[in-house]
A = this chain, B = another copy of it.
């Protein structure tokens, strides 16, 4: 048989523990999604994660995937990456880091945290605080 490249998933236990730690009730669906997201650094869209869950034999409604991704993001388990209107990516790497974004195929590639240095960020307008400085390096096929 052909060598199948299977993605590693988290154990149910560990996924549940992470959810509890984040203050989220570990329901069947949330645990399933946390398992899929849990291992390694990944970039997913609601749609792609939904497909993945179905293929993995963990049926979840698309609306639940949306809810869950948003809750995980609020809880600090994920980071939302905005690259283009109409496309939302969620990044399992919540550390400070940046991205390459290829406009041709919509793919996203990490740039490690310490690589890019941003200097000279001005003081924000009155009554505002900086939440995050986001850098996206937009690419085109050469």
Contact = CB atoms under 8 A, between A and B. Distances in A.
Contact of A131 (B122, B135, B138): B138
A118 B116 contact: yes
A135 B134 contact: yes
24 contacts: A82-B82, A84-B85, A85-B85, A85-B88, A86-B86, A100-B124, A102-B128, A111-B122, A116-B118, A118-B118, A118-B135, A119-B119, A128-B140, A129-B139, A129-B142, A130-B138, A131-B138, A131-B139, A132-B138, A133-B135, A133-B138, A134-B135, A134-B138, A136-B136
Interface of A: 82-88, 100, 102-103, 109, 111, 115-122, 124-125, 127-142
